[in-house]
Structures are given as structure tokens and as C-alpha cells.
A and B are shown apart, each in its own frame.
Chain A
Amino acid sequence: MYLLLSSETNQAADFLSVTAKLAGGFKTTLLLFFLTLLFAIPFGLLFACISRMRFKPLRYLMRAFIYVIRGTPLLLQLMIVVYLPGIALQKPITKWEIFHQNVPLAYFCGALFAFSLNYACYFAEIFRGGIENIPKGQYEACEVLGMTKTQTFFRVILLQVIRNIIAPMSNEVVTLVKDTALARTVSVIEIFFTASEILRLQFIIWPLFYTGAFYLLFSALLTLLFGILEKKLSRYWK
């Protein structure tokens, strides 16, 4: 592809060095992606459970929180996490003890926090939908068979929930891959930041478009993975 994209000067080195630079940025993208999933899935489950609780105040509080997070842009949430501690509380995020004056680390953790919370809320709604989609009859049947609630959930309900949520989850996970590009606004040096930096310093435009190849390749991997998962799970019902 570089043969097509490079029209005039010194290319081979350029293409390789740009690829290396972008790959460096993509590492940060992937780190943000995987760590967000790592935190967002368990918290999503927790949020889903809380938003289905019988204890009303907690349930409504949880639902209100999910509403706020889902109702505001992730971009805004990123800015709140990174700037508000300094502006409102006089406790700038970069100067928190745990970050040891490491500014990039502070920003990355801030972004990770915002992403995890945001995706946990989306996941919570997917999980809740998946659980509530299980027909009441199944619970009744389990009760008749004398199964405890825990047994019912883990032996009968859970796998069906997983099957129910696979498609919406794959959707959300692929969206997350691309949403990580927002982190550049709070100085997280991910692939898009790297590409615009190359543009600003070397005045070459194609690396911006070239980032698309990285996202596409990774999304293809994820799609494949979810495809396999879906097939494996559907075996039990066909």
C-alpha cells in the first residue's frame, strides 16, 4: 500500500518508521482497550445486579447513575476526570501521590477510569437485558425441581444470558476499540495522537488514514473471536 501512498520522496524508511511510531501508539490503544474491558465487565455485572435489586433506593440510585453516564458524552466524562479534581478540589490529578509525578501515567489512569465507568454502565444495561430476557417459566421450573437460587442462576440461567448478550456485547466491544481515540484529548499518546503528531511535525497526512488499518485489523480479530464464541455457545441449543 505504501507504494501507492508515497508519491515523491524517500519512502521505504518513512513507511517503516511511521509504522513503528503508530505501532507504538497502538500499544497504548490496546492497553487502554484491554484494561477497560478488565474493569468494565465485572463492574458492569455489579451495576446490573444493583439495578435489579429489590432495595429501591439503591436500585434507583444505580439507574440514575447509569442514566447520567449514558446520557453524557464520553469526551465530557474524560475532561471531568482529568480537569475537575484540580479545578474544583485543588487536587490536580497529576500530583496525586500514587502517580509519583508521572504525568502520562496519571492521564492514562484518568482515562482508564472514565472509560471503565462509561463502559460498565453500557455493559450493565446489556447484562440486565440479558437476564430479564430469560422466561419466568425457567425460574418456576427450577423452583419446582427444588433448586436453590444460586443453583438456578449458575446451572440454568447464566449460559443462556451469555448467549443472549454475545451479539450486543460484540457490538459494544468493537465500539470501544474506536472510542479509545478519544483519549488523545486528555494527552494519552495513543495511535491517533501519534498520527496527528507526525502530521504536525513532518507534514505528512497519510499516517492519519493509515491508523484506520490498525483499527480495522484489530476489529477483524475481535469479530472473528466473537463469531467463534457465538458458534460454540449456540451448539448447546441446536
Chain B
Amino acid sequence: MKKKLLTMLSVLGTVGTLCACTSGQQPAGTDAPAAASADATADTAATDSDYEYIKGNGKLVIGITYYEPMNYKAEDGTLTGFDTEFAEAVCAKLGVTPEFQEIDWDMKETELKSRNIDCIWNGLTVTEDRRANMDFSKTYLINKQCVVINQENASTYTDTASLSGAMLSAESGSAGETAITSDANLSQASYTASNSQQDALIALNAGNYDAIVIDYTMALSSVGSGDFSNLVIVDGIELANEEYAIGFRTGSDMTASVNSIIDELIADGTLETIASHYDGLTDLYNAAVK
């Protein structure tokens, strides 16, 4: 225990000094001593209930990035989205105030561990690798991956076979990338990783790629609107699916508490109603729950 604590402190110390020398973009490095002490208390308090800790704070700090239709700013500037409404409903039952905190998606595990946030609730995909760093709630949506192309190519690209010679992209490390590499036809195509799904969309729109593979929800909300009006989803291509769940700290008793609230919200139809507010989400909700 003591040894582990010492290792942790030295890790943070090293990282802190490293960060102080570099441009210090990472929240974990901005004040290493504070982070170190916070982590130390987190470690000693591991036996305490995370549920009590959050109830005691009176608020649930929810890590998000702005993206439609999960958590995004409506035209009047208020935060809305499926996950936003869902979180508000769960927090009302929990008796705490939801506090939405924008995070750097790449730093979500650190944010969660350092208690800057209490959970990640942002269309988070369940993966086996992620289980090492967090506990997942029950799956509430099943998201599909889909192929998006420019409208003028609609007659050229109709299935994965016709895409085997195309220039493809997906977000680096995303489910879309996995879908490409695990598909017999798509893996033949020339593939370039993008920095984000948005970057992939912009590059596709510019014609830099012939097709991209992104989340179905992301595609539904972006394709056909604004400057993406010339983009279309290729119908009838089935790619690997992904499950969405809420991420809590490892070993947290919040997972069980929130799971039972989710069951209540499913039973009384609240969640289905929330899903019906957003295009295409009813499909994803039914896939997960029914």
C-alpha cells in the first residue's frame, strides 16, 4: 500500500516536472502537487462509498465533450442532448445536481481517476480495454458504424466491395477504424487515420477521401445539414456495432445505484421518450433495451 502510494506520487512528480517543461496542455500536469495529494486521498478513501461521496457533494460531475446528439449546445445556448436529458433524469432520482464538465476526450481516464469528474456520460463505447480503467453501467444504446460518402459518388459506392479501391478515413483509434480493419473489403482500401470524426467529415467534404466510417448517430446529425448537405450515408452496409454506457470509477458503488435507476427509467418509458426527441436514436435504444 505504502509502496504503491510512493510509486503513484513519484509518477505524478515525474509527469509534473515533464509537463512543466513542455507546453502543459494536460490538466493532470497543471498542478502536480495538488493532483498528487488528491490522488493520495482517493487511494486511502477507496474503501469509502463513491455513492456517499457524490451524495455528500450534492452534485454529480459529468465529463462530456460537445457532440450531437449526446451533449450539445442548442440554438439558445443551453446544453441539451440525449445523454444530457438522460443524466438529468437520473440525477433527479439520485437527488443530486448534474454538473456537466467539458473534458479533453483523450484525458477522460485521468479526469475520472483524479476525481475532477465523477463519470463519463458522452456516448462512451464499451470496450474490454477500457474496463481496466473504469466500470461500465448497463448498455443503454447500441450505436452502429456507417459509411458516409459524397452524393455524386452514390452510384459508384453501394457496398463494401465497391469501396475496396477507395480512399478511406476514420477517427484514429475509433470504432470506425476497427470496422474498416476488420472488414474483408474495406481493409483492402487505402486508409488514413483522422484526428477526429469532424476532421474526417471536413476532409470527405473537401474530397480528400472517397468515404469515411463514423458513428451512426454522428452521421445522422451531421450528414445532410449545413455544409455537409452533399454527404449521404450508404444504405445497407452492416459494420461492427458498439455499445454505449456510462463510465464510473473502478469499483464504484455508483454503477449499481445508477443501473437500478436506469431500469426504472426504462420501465416507466422515460428513456424511450427522451430517445424519441432525437433523430434515429429510437432505433439505437430499441437495439440496446429490447
Contact = CB atoms under 8 A, between A and B. Distances in A.
Given A178-B23, A187-B194, A209 B18 contact: yes
A212 B199 contact: no
A1 B195 contact: no
Please classify how large the interface on chain B is, using the bins under 10, 10 to 19, 20 to 34, 35 or more.
Answer: 35 or more
B11 interface: yes
A139 B110 CA distance: 62
A113 to B, nearest CB: 15
B284 to A, nearest CB: 23
A201 B171 CA distance: 11
B208 interface: yes
A200 B22 contact: no
B109 A205 contact: yes
Please classify how large the interface on chain A is, using the bins under 10, 10 to 19, 20 to 34, 35 or more.
Answer: 35 or more
Interface string A74-96: 00000100111111001011110
B74 interface: no
B15 interface: yes
Interface in B190-209: 190, 192-195, 199, 202-203, 205-209
Nearest to B192: A103
B167 A85 contact: no
Contacts of B208: 82-83, 86, 92-95, 103, 106
Nearest to A102: B190
Contact of B15 (A101, A104, A200, A206): A206
Contact of A185 (B26, B107, B199, B209): B199
Interface string B83-116: 0000000000000000000000011011000000
B130 interface: yes
B173 interface: yes
A94 B167 contact: yes
Please report whether the interface of chain A is mostly helix, strand, loop or mixed according to DSSP: helix
B15 A203 contact: no
Contact of A5 (B14, B28, B192, B199): B14
B75 interface: no
B14 A4 contact: yes
A93 B21 CA distance: 36
B18 A212 contact: yes
A104 B192 contact: yes
A82 B167 CA distance: 15
A90 B167 CA distance: 16
Contact of A209 (B29, B109, B199): B29
B26 A200 contact: no
Contact of B195 (A4, A193, A216): A193
B6 to A, nearest CB: 10
A82 B15 CA distance: 34
B240 to A, nearest CB: 15
Contact of B130 (A87, A92, A203): A203
Contacts of B188: none
A26 interface: no
A236 to B, nearest CB: 35
A229 B146 CA distance: 56
B4 interface: yes
* Chain A CB within 10 A, most for which of B18, B194, B208: B208
* Chain A CB within 10 A, most for which of B14, B169, B174: B14
A210 to B, nearest CB: 8
Given A103-B167, A196-B106, A95 B207 contact: yes
Nearest to A106: B208
B35 to A, nearest CB: 13
Contacts of A184: 195
Nearest to A199: B106
* Chain A CB within 10 A, most for which of B7, B169, B195, B207: B207
* Chain A CB within 10 A, most for which of B21, B28, B190, B206: B206
Contacts of A84: 206
Given A82-B208, A187-B199, A193-B172, 5 more contacts: A103-B167, A103-B192, A106-B208, A187-B169, A200-B172
Top 8 nearest A-B pairs (CB, nearest first) are A200-B173, A86-B206, A92-B207, A212-B22, A86-B207, A103-B192, A83-B206, A94-B208
Interface of B: 4, 7-8, 10-11, 14-15, 18-19, 21-23, 26, 28-29, 106-107, 109-110, 129-130, 132-133, 167, 169, 172-174, 190, 192-195, 199, 202-203, 205-209
